[in-house]
Structure 1
Amino acid sequence: MIYSAAILFTAILFISIRLEIWIACPLLAGLAFSAALACKQGTPCNTVARHAFEGARNSFAVAETLLYVGALTAAWRESGTIAYLVYHGLLFLSPPLLLPGSFILSAIISMLIGTSVGTISVLGIPIMIIASSSGTDMPMLAGAIIAGAYVGDRGSPLSSSAQLVASVTDTLVENNMRRNMRDALPVIVICSLAYGLLSWFMPPISPHTDLAEQLGGAFALTPATLVPALVVIFGPTFKIRARYIFLCSTLTAIVLATTLQGIPPVKALHGILWGYEIHGTDSLARLFAGGGICSMAAPIIIVLLSASTIEILIRSAFLTRAERGIALLFPHLGAYLTNAVVSLAASAIACNQTLAILFTAKIQQKFYRTPREKTAFAQMISNTAVLLPVLIPWNVALTLPLSILGATTASIPFIFFPLLMPLLGWRCIPPVTPAPDNPADHRQAP
């Protein structure tokens, strides 16, 4: 019954996306259903409630990061950082190279700073603003930017996802990174060529010739406005935690907004909370308004609901039964394909990347014991649980980048790297045959 419930829950999520129902509604229903199922299995209701709260509490760090991202995206608009990047980006806009160039630049920056969100904020917003002012195919471009951003999420030693994979698989992050980059290079080349071919099918770009002039009139465009972006780019090299990098960048941007752009402090703080508003031409207001802490309310609610649901499932008989089911899949599908199936299911249920990685590892980790098996397991998770959440329409790994870029789920078919890496990555992983535990060693369901 519990497997049928999981399938039904995933189907409801997919239908909700198709019908454009706010995803929190089916997630809330899933949480209630999971709680009712746990109570039916004999777990006291107060215990189920405590598990739900613990799950939400465990995701507070993710929610906190989302708040910082919302503040940062508004602060960069206020300080002129985005305007400066757009102003100079207009000078180098090359239509034939826009798609592959955006992917490659996004991949490089993500490898440098180790965060997909930071990459999309630094690079993605300016490129999307330039593109939206010139008639470029937005889904293709957003897909290329997001795909490049997740190259570093998987392969940068500064990536929190890479650190998490090393931790849950009991491997060394340095060794994992060398293997991950070796495995990813052919896929990166294929993606670059694919985006180059797609660029031939994009409509001609006709940039607004007056946009640069409008920007010059609305913002003080000096090199100092780049400081908040430089904080994000170089902060990880000093091993500063992401939340502090975002905070420092936001505070720097607020100072620039009040001193350089002449925005009153009260208005600047109002923009940080509710989003930046620019008064002027309609085109500038349409392109630059947005961001703010409140814009992250929907992703935060998704994270909290999914984390509570996952915690209830893990504390119930679901984990034990899932392990038994996985043990039956290994002989038929092999280790890599079994891991891909588990990662895809975890990505659909967990609704954010961190929980998908933890859930995938927790269900399978007992099957990988030797150092060689753990190394292969780390490679498999890097190819699947780290990347597959980006392809799930209701997963925060996708909804947050789309929200930052102002794009839609129409971009999913063009996010090539997270799509191709799981399909092609199996070739570089040494064959392993995980040995399931003796059935007598399995935990008993409560």
Structure 2
Amino acid sequence: MSAEKRLPTFGEVLFVLIAFIVIMFLFVVQLGIPIQLALLTTWFMIMLVGLRIGYTYSEMQDGILKGIYDGLEAVLVLISVGALIGTWIAGGVVPSIIYYGLSIIDPSIFLMAAFIICAITSLATGTSFGSAGTAGIAMMGIGVSFGFPIALVAGAVISGCYVGDKLSPLSDTTVMTASLSKVNLIEHIKSMLFVSTPAFIITALLFLGTGFFFHGSNGDLSQAQSTMTSLSEYFNIAWYMLIPAAVVILMLALKKPSIPVILLGALLGSVWAYLFQDVALLDAINSLYSGNNIESGVDFIDNLLNRGGIEFMLGVIVLILFALGVGGLMEKIGILRVICNTMLAWADNAGKTTLTTLLSGFFGNFFGGAAYVSIITASKITEENYDRLNIDRRVLSRNTEAGGTVTTPMVPWSDGGVFMAATLGVSTITYLPFLWFNFLVIVISLIYGFTNKFIWYTNQEENNKDEKAVNA
């Protein structure tokens, strides 16, 4: 017979949090041990606390499995995008986009253009992963060819990709947040526009200014020309190479299911590799699994285009599964509940409530490893405070996206952080300072909360008061 269960004490929670951070730092930074093993080790550390407070191993295993199950859709998307990246490179889709981009985009406005192009792609498709794996890969090639630091280009790409991830009605995180917060989807999107519009404009201007400054002093058009020459030498560059990309973007914009659409795009890439790139049939098919492999003799081209395939994502998938297991364990034994209850007791106004929602979302990503986990922790654990303070749930849903969705690529072991790092070839810590859109969303949300701007109340009198203050 198992012992009576109880919630962990604050001291036990603090032990888990500190031990988690120490294990990650020791394994990854000091010893160079794969982060996957660090996360697996944290399973057993959390289990010790679970046993202490009355849970059996079987019960905790159920928590692990549930955490993994809740994030399996992201794993399937990773597999699909990995296949797509491999075949689109082999089929000449990505090389053609890079070639034409180098031909028509002025280097001084490139960073802003990359941000806007990825934003439009993600808004049209509803997926940050798909946008990064298609338009993002191409923008990385163009940016590095222009001589921009790779981390800066990655920041522009990821910032753009998360515009659509949090705003598009086709995005699973947008739909999920509205549903969990019990807010109409369109009203949820309208609410986010108050934060996302100024964040988008400021970010675009920042990248525009950086592009003018950087290119004026460090631009290298000779590398861009060399890249175009190499691409035309090893790939058939033509307008019809872009057809698979157009098909995928159109079908996603028509709200077709993302996984089969992305896999269809990957299959088209294989067909294009066989028909137009003189790739043997078996090699074209194999690129779905093993990705692209060329030996051009040009290090830059090889580093940029030897990637993709399902195999390319296997380490990422293992990492995400372990991270999801950590989140499931913490949820099962009540660690996340204790953390958020502590914050809720402190939050007695709109500003503090906004901050607790943002922190709850970040904790969901940090300890749960997935955007889905962060959206659940941010919305469900803090919703009672919004009701208690008569704050409209549109504010809850907006803050949930700010704390959950946009912080996902900031955590090295979250599904978004791992995917972006693997796909773009830049570590999370390296590109983190350049996620300007993501940071601005957080800052603007906090400003609104503590100044009571664009904070709507269910009480009509308070709502009228707020509207008068905004119009003043």
Fold shared per TM-score above 0.5: yes
In the aligned structure 2, how far is the partner of 1:90 from the partner of 1:293?
Answer: 28
For 2:280, give the aligned amino acid: P
Distance, in Å, in 1 between the alignment partners of 2:219 and 2:358 is 39
1:342 aligns with 2:360: yes
CA contact (8 A) 2:191 2:395 kept: no
The answer as to 2:280 corresponding to 1:264 is: yes
CA distance in 1, matches of 2:337, 2:369: 21
Counterpart for residue 63 of structure 2: 51
Question: Is 1:239 the equivalent of 2:285?
Answer: no
**2:441 corresponds to 1:421:** yes
Give the structure 2 partner of residue 383 of structure 1: 402
TM-score for both structures, normalised by structure 1: 0.91
What's the counterpart of residue 97 of structure 2?
85
Q: Establish whether residue 411 from structure 1 lines up as the match of residue 407 from structure 2.
A: no
Equivalent of 1:146 in 158, 166, 173: 158
1:112 is the counterpart of 2:124:
yes
Specify the alignment match of 2:264 in structure 1. Answer: 248
Q: Percent identity?
A: 22
Q: How does 1:59-138 map to 2 (within 5 A)?
A: 59-138=71-150
Please tell me whether the aligned partners of residues 302 and 351 of structure 1 are also in contact (alpha carbons under 8 angstroms).
Answer: no
Shift of 1:343: 1.8
Give the whole-Å Cα distance in 1 for the aligned partners of 2:238 and 2:102. Answer: 16
In 2, Cα distance between equivalents of 1:16 and 1:233: 40
Aligned to 2:214: 201
1:88 is displaced (CA, Å) by: 1.0
Cα deviation for residue 245 of structure 1 reads: 1.4
1:69 shift after superposition? 0.9
For the 8 Å contact 1:30–1:309, the answer to whether it is kept is yes
Equivalent residues of 2:23, 2:42 under 8 A apart: no
Task: Look up the match of 1:444.
Answer: none
Q: CA deviation at 1:271?
A: 2.3
Whole-angstrom CA distance in 1 between matches of 2:93 and 2:231:
11
Say which is worse superposed, 376-385 or 268-277, in terms of deviation.
268-277
Distance in 2 separating the partners of 1:378 and 1:103: 25
Change (3 A) 1:15 1:168: farther
How many residue pairs match? The answer is 433
Q: Distance in 2 between matches of 1:211 and 1:374?
A: 50
- d(CA) in 2 for partners of 1:354, 1:364: 16
SS at match of 1:385: helix
Gaps of 5+ in 2: 1-11, 459-472
- Compute the displacement of 1:145 (Å): 0.9
Separation in structure 2 between the aligned mates of residue 201 and residue 213 of structure 1, nearest angstrom? 24
Are the counterparts in 2 of residues 169 and 374 from structure 1 also a CA contact under 8 Å? Answer: yes
Q: Distance in 1 between matches of 2:359 and 2:235?
A: 50
Which moved further from structure 2: 229-238 or 9-18? 9-18
Q: Secondary structure, in 3 states, of the residue corresponding to 1:393?
A: coil
2:74, 2:415 within 8 Å by CA — same for their partners in 1? no
8 Å contact 2:199–2:437 — kept in the other structure? yes
Contact 1:17-1:393 at 8 Å conserved across structures:
no
Alpha-carbon displacement from aligned partner over 1:290-348 (angstroms, at most 9, x marks no partner): 11111112221122112222222222232543353133121386211111222222221
SS at match of 1:292: coil
Structure of higher RCO (CA pairs closer than 8 Å, 6+ residues apart): 1
- Answer yes or no: is the 8 Å Cα contact 2:162–2:406 preserved in 1: yes
What residue ranges of structure 1 are gaps of 5+ in the alignment?
Answer: 434-446
> Quick one: structure 1 residues 210 and 197, their matched pair in 2 at CA, closer, same or farther if it must change by over 3 Å?
closer
Q: 2:455 aligns with which of 414, 430, 440?
A: 430
Task: Say what the alpha-carbon RMSD is for the aligned residues.
Answer: 2.2
Deviation (angstroms), 1:372:
5.1
Deviations 1:160-214 (A, max 9, x none): 1101101111111111112212321111111112112222135222233243233
CA distance in 2 between partners of 1:320 and 1:14 (Å): 25
In structure 2, the residue matched to 1:365 is: 383
Measure, in 1, the Cα distance between the counterparts of 2:207 and 2:229: 31
Partner residue of 2:317?
A: 300
Partner of 1:161: 173
The AA in structure 2 aligned to 1:143 is: G
Aligned to 1:437: none
Distance 1:263 1:136, change over 3 A: same
